[in-house]
Amino acid sequence: MAENLLTPALTVFEQMALDEVLTHANAHGPVLRFYHWTDGPAVTFGYSQFYNSVQSQLTPDKGPACRRPTGGGIVFHGADLTFSLIFESELRPSEIYARLHGAIENALAQVQLQSTRQGAVSAAVYAPATNGIASGCFANPVKDDLLVNGKKILGGAIRRFGTQILYQGSLQCENARTHPVFRRAVVQAVQQMLAVQFETKPVAEELLKQARELALSQYQTTAWTEKFL
């Protein structure tokens, strides 16, 4: 069964923890989840990024910061539509990225948002840091990111947990978080790519409990935040 899960408002630490919990718990089919954020901005940064290079870009007004379980660069969350997708696949991450972003590109075109996909880029763009400064996800488009007028609007990061794929994405365009047309476009794209129909349902309370415990024991800890200095 493919599920579009509804969740209460969560902190950035709980968001990351819930994605990990859902990935390990998933055994019934694809799971799509749009983040419902607590008030205020937040920051996530890639699993392999060095905290010392990330820290220089963090200020109190940007909100709390959390290391993601996935890769990629720094993402500043404020008005973006943030979502995760968990599903089983043997494809390489680059193939998944291209297929998913291609499907979302087509779905956005149907609501009159014309985007293009970033072509091949230098391998240096994928580095966790450049010249000691942590890479910013939306400042450095990589292959198959979506652009509008040269500005990146969709990026994501992927990690494989056994046979399960966790994709965490951020759509950053005007009204992305507040206008339902963008959620519908993502749902449509994922359904098309995976040939499924999503059933909307609330997340199980037991999974929320596990996520909150994991947020406290791992994602909020200094050991996780400063895992790589």
In whole angstroms, what is the distance from residue 20 CA to residue 43 CA? 17
Q: Find where tokens 């994991």 sit.
A: 214
For 154, the token pair is 């969709």
Looking at residue 15, its amino acid is Q
Per-residue pLDDT of the chain (229 residues; tens, 9 = 90+): 899 999 999 999 999 999 999 999 987 789 999 999 999 999 999 999 999 999 999 999 999 999 999 999 999 999 999 999 999 999 999 999 999 999 999 999 999 999 999 999 876 676 676 656 678 889 889 999 999 999 999 999 999 998 899 999 999 999 999 999 999 999 999 999 999 999 999 999 999 999 999 999 999 999 999 999 9
Cβ neighbours for 41, distance < 8 A, ≥ 6 positions apart: 61, 62, 63, 76, 77, 78
Q: Please tell me whether residue 95 adopts helix, strand or coil conformation.
A: helix
- What tens digit of pLDDT does each residue of 59-115 get? 999 999 999 999 999 999 999 999 999 999 999 999 999 999 999 999 999 999 999
Homologous superfamily of 2-223: Bira Bifunctional Protein; Domain 2 (3.30.930.10)
Q: Please give the pLDDT value at position 130.
A: 63
In whole angstroms, what is the distance from residue 106 CA to residue 98 CA? 12
Q: Find where tokens 């046979």 sit.
A: 163
Domain chopping of the chain, boundaries: 2-223
In whole angstroms, what is the distance from residue 2 CA to residue 5 CA? 10
